[in-house]
Amino acid sequence: MHTIEEPHPVPSGRFALWELGFRPFYLLASVFAAVSIPLWSLQFAGLLGHAYLAGPVWHAHEMLFGFALAVIVGFLFTAGRNWSNQSTPTGWWLATLAALWLAGRILVLTPFGWAAAAVNVAFPLAAAVSLAVPLYRARNTRNYVFVGLLTALAVASGLVHLAQLGVMNLPSWAGVQLGLDIVLFILAVMAGRVVPMFTNNGVPRAGATRNAVVERCALASVLVLVAVDLAGLRGSTLAWIAAAACVAHSARWLLWKPWRTLGVPLVWVLQLAYLWVPVHLALRALVELGAVPSSAATHALAVGAVGGMIIGMMARTTRGHTGRPLRADRVDIACFTLVLCAAVVRVAWPLGMPAQTLAAIQLSALLWAIGFALFAVRYGPMLARSRVDGKPG
């Protein structure tokens, strides 16, 4: 079996953007997050026009299949190297994949709908194949699931485009909802692996635990939610399933002892981000009962859980994979706080004062944009330059 050769230490400070998957995709995602959300807020306010994908469809598609997918791919390419002890995309192939992702972000702003569809389906499929090869070589069957999930995200993106192009008679939001459910499942799987481990590694005597029954119930409940959404079931059936999932994920979170992590920012950001998962599920149940608007549940997941987990994981993994100490500085804490506050503003303010929804969106967009812009400025040089310890990667 071919394994990664560890070359001699290389000089630090040289250009290294294409040496490991997290580098270009974290940088691209953070810049895109900082730019696209303010553009969306202007579009929502009626101050900016649109092209192929319009309004909420463009916003949702780009946050799922642009921003979140870029980070997922960057993380999986980096983790996949450790899981398989095989090479994942680097060099020209990694640059090609990054260019494919960037082309997708540009094409949805043009009238060329078919080209946008082709590129946005091709990117997750190419990423799935690029991950499948090293996993297969290592017979790393435990992580084949991520190949399937990347393929499923390609299908979800394709559904959005086919509906938008009038090829399929279904609402564009059907593909968005499938994408949201898949991203929720990816987040649940990865958080279950890393959050309790990072908690115990970063907080002495934290005592974060995992319970096999709770783990199975938490993950199974999301899969049931996916099936129910695919079947188009609504109302009380969906409400009960979402409520049961909320209980399972709340129990899971409490087993991780989040109250013991408040002094360690690289850990509490992940814990607080995961808290938004049961909040999202509770809000989904309330949506089906007619008590809250669906946007509250969607943004609890997209801004709170996904945004919070991404900003925390990008900071931690960038520090770890560039040879830096796993300690958050003031800029990190500012990034974490801004993104998590953006979630509170986007979800809670419109629920309490619906007439001020536009103001809430604009303030939330500003907080989010500043948080990810700070990350891009702070971490861009780290992502573009080689490790400080001279090791490869």
pLDDT in tens, 189-213: 999 999 999 999 999 999 999 999 9
Q: What is the identity of the amino acid at 157?
A: S
Regions in the chain scoring below 50 on pLDDT: 1-11
Task: Please give the Cα distance from 270 to 316 (Å, whole number).
Answer: 10
Task: Please give the Cα distance from 28 to 99 (Å, whole number).
Answer: 10
Q: What is the predicted pLDDT for the residue at 58?
A: 80
Q: What is the predicted pLDDT for the residue at 8?
A: 43
pTM of the model: 0.94
43, 49, 219, 274, 298 from 155: Cα distances, Å: 27, 28, 21, 26, 20
pLDDT in tens, 76-124: 999 999 999 999 999 999 999 999 999 999 998 888 989 999 999 999 9
Angle between helix 308-321 and helix 69-84 axes, rounded to 10 deg = 40
Nearest-5° angle of CA 161, CA 276, CA 70? 40
What the chain holds in terms of domains, given with CATH numbers, is 22-384 (1.20.210.10)
List, in order, residues 6 or more apart from 129 with CB less than 8 Å away. Answer: none
Q: Which long-range contacts (CB under 8 A, 24 or more apart) does 291-297 make?
A: 292/351, 293/350, 293/354, 295/350, 296/347, 296/350, 296/351
Please, how many CA atoms are within 13 Å of residue 242, restricted to the half-sphere of its CB? 24
Residue linked to tokens 């799987």: 189
Q: What is the predicted pLDDT for the residue at 327?
A: 94
Write out the two tokens for 384: 């573009």
